[in-house]
Amino acid sequence: DPNDTVILIHAVRDLRERNNAETHIQFLAEHDSLTGTLNRATLVNQIDALIALADPQKSRFVLMMIDIDRFRNLNELYGHNQGDKVLREIGQRIGEFSDNHLICGRLTSNAFGCLMEIPAEENTRSWTETLTTQLHARLTQPILLNSSQFIMPEISIGISMFPDDGMDRETLLSAAYFATTRAKENGGNDIIFFDADMNAQHLENRK
């Protein structure tokens, strides 16, 4: 019957549209509306999930905090619309750099977090240094604000490692933040690993 065919087509189309809408709603709930990266809630859930599945004797991953240096000055000098453009561009560059080892999201107004699982066959430090240096070089490329004006973004990256620097999300995030702060205090636009020399001060600050 031709009428049955029409009903079937409508049913398939309605179901497809509903699934597309639900997928879109889920995307909005999990991602930052400005940059398109994961939002903070989703990122910390990913960190918690990875820790829950981790074997402290075998699992290794790195948490990076990526902070745009002097972002407030940028907003004051060029305006918030241009500041948003810089955030979108940095978020896009992080997304383009991401692969199966990299999960990234926006942690604060001008900082992103990246979670990287380290392949079992790789050396933790050298693998992280190589990947982070490549990412930093990508993020500090010029950003065009308009047809005649561009900026050279400066990026500070702080790095903490599981399990060496912490075995829970709060400790790892705090250590990465502390390393980022140290990078900024040293002039910014640098990559700093959280290390034993920072640990005493870090523990004192957490009391």
CB 135 within 8 A of CB 97: yes
What whole-number distance in Å separates Cα of residue 181 and Cα of residue 157?
Answer: 9
Question: pTM for this one?
Answer: 0.84
| pLDDT surpasses 60 at 124 | yes
Question: Around Cβ 101, how many Cβ atoms within 10 Å?
Answer: 16
β-pairing verdict for 111-117 and 61-68: antiparallel
CB 116 within 8 A of CB 128: yes
Q: Per-residue pLDDT tens for 6-32?
A: 555 555 566 676 666 666 577 678 899
What whole-number distance in Å separates Cα of residue 41 and Cα of residue 107?
Answer: 9
In this prediction, residue 101 carries a pLDDT of: 64
Q: Per-residue pLDDT tens for 156-198?
A: 999 999 999 999 999 999 999 999 999 999 999 999 999 877 7
Mean pLDDT across 71-77: 92
3-state secondary structure of 151: strand
What whole-number distance in Å separates Cα of residue 82 and Cα of residue 144?
Answer: 10
